[in-house]
Chains A and B, each alone.
Chain A
Amino acid sequence: MKARNKRFMFVVVGLSGLAVAVGLVLNALNSNVSFFYSPTQVQANEAPQDKTIRLGGMVEEGSLKREDDGLTVHFNVTDNLKTVSVTYKGILPDLFSEGQGVVAQGKLDEQGGFYAKEVLAKHDESYMPPEVQDALEKAEETKKQQMSTTSLMQ
């Protein structure tokens, strides 16, 4: 075998061996690499009880309630399968709103509620002008109206 073919094989074999090793390590560390637990994982008791963890998901529509002190808020985080109720005292990020992604850091209590120390807004992957968003919302509304009228007719 020529020296350069040997070096080629060395690089190819070395790199594929390394890729397999890294793949196995990352697979083993899967739960540690993830930035947050989903509500489904929390409900399935996959998240540790007495440790600080992060909970991520969507803020459930209509679940945001503010207490009279103006700082304490309650909202539900959902992944459309399970929900976890969150209590947080502090200033919410500007982009925090119902129906949007959120990552909260804090601890679970015995009743399965979540006490957040820090709340981050999670941005989704879509970028569009406000007019497009308005048009999308309008289309959604007409769709809902149509569905309700058809259900009334039936």
Chain B
Amino acid sequence: MANSRFWLYFSSPKTFYPFAGKLVPWCAGVAVVLTVIGLYLGLLVTPPDYRMGNSYRIIYIHVPAVWMSMLIYMVMAGWAAVGLIWNVKLAEMMAGALAPTGAMFTFIGLWTGALWGQPTWGTYWVWDARLTTYLLLLFLYMGFIALRSAIDDPRRASKASALLAIVGAINVPIIYFSVKWWNTLHQPFTVAPGQESKIDPTMLWTMLIMVFAFWAYAIAVALLRIRSEILEREKNASWVAELLDSSQDTSSEDNIAQEKSAQGDRA
């Protein structure tokens, strides 16, 4: 299969490292441009809501952040499973690199939700099914990160945390369908596949622009994180040594001293 050879090519940290390095500036650029456009439309162009006035504008942050946090969890659990089953180092690193971004988006989702809840519902927080299962998502992210950093050996840390990530993946569909299955204070789907969207088109497009902005940001940050993890885990590989040597030639004296002391530590 030519296809599998293509994937194997990128599953090697050595080839993925420069590839990720090339993608980062593009993703970061897209994230910045789309965020500026999205916030401009969201704060200045889109009309106020007929009941909530301007306070609804938090959805341009809240909804993209929440969607991303759930999507990132599924992708993270998927990579963790690939790492566990096929023993792919890069997949393990991918799962680890996604977790902090997912946790951050979950926190933003909870925070903006609380800020919106006070003027809309009359309370910052209730223990309904949607909010409670979503809080659980933050704990799952935190548990994953904590478990990963609690075990010194990176391969064992990845395996243990992969199991947690996979088991926790059950929670994501429960979060998503909670508003459909049970009575909740949180409103049901506004936008969902197979359903006419219940949001004004200009509001919807602005929200989708912010979704793509957050998407690009998440990819950029995850790739940055995975690059540093590749260097850390592969520090004994010859290509990393060559890479550091070549960067020494072009870097300033200070950096050379730092690299040397780092090499001294390693030896």
Contact = CB atoms under 8 A, between A and B. Distances in A.
Interface of A: 4, 7-8, 11, 14-15, 18-19, 22, 26, 30, 33-38, 56, 93-96, 100, 103, 119-133
B192 to A, nearest CB: 9
B85 A7 contact: yes
Interface of B, helix, strand, loop or mixed by DSSP? loop
Contact of B182 (A30, A119, A121): A30
Interface string B17-42: 00000000000000000000000000
B154 interface: no
Given A11-B166, A35-B129, A125 B198 contact: yes
Given A126-B190, A132-B200, A120 B122 contact: yes
Contacts of B56: 127
Given A26-B174, A120-B126, A127-B200, A35 B85 contact: no
Nearest to B199: A127
Given A128-B49, A128-B50, A132-B50, A4 B183 contact: no
A127 B84 contact: no
Contacts of B145: none
Interface in B202-224: 203
Contacts of A11: 81, 84-85, 166
A128 B51 CA distance: 9
Nearest to A36: B183
Determine which residue in B59, B121, B128, B198 has the highest number of CB atoms from chain A within 10 A of its CB, and name it.
B121
A91 B131 CA distance: 24
Interface of B: 47-52, 56, 59, 81, 84-87, 119-123, 126, 128-129, 166-167, 169-170, 174, 181-185, 187-190, 198-200, 203
A92 B128 CA distance: 20
A75 to B, nearest CB: 15
Contacts of A95: 51-52, 119-122
23 contacts: A4-B85, A7-B85, A8-B85, A11-B81, A11-B85, A11-B166, A22-B170, A34-B129, A56-B185, A93-B121, A95-B52, A95-B121, A95-B122, A119-B122, A121-B121, A123-B120, A124-B187, A125-B188, A126-B190, A127-B200, A128-B50, A128-B203, A129-B200
Contacts of B169: 15
Nearest to A31: B182
Say whether chain A's binding surface is mostly helix, strand, loop, or mixed. mixed
A100 B106 CA distance: 29
A7 B52 CA distance: 51
A133 B50 CA distance: 7
B121 A126 contact: no
A112 to B, nearest CB: 20
Given A93-B122, A121-B122, A123-B121, A22 B174 contact: yes
Contacts of A119: 122
6 smallest CB-CB distances across A and B, nearest first, come from A93-B122, A129-B47, A133-B50, A35-B128, A126-B198, A34-B183
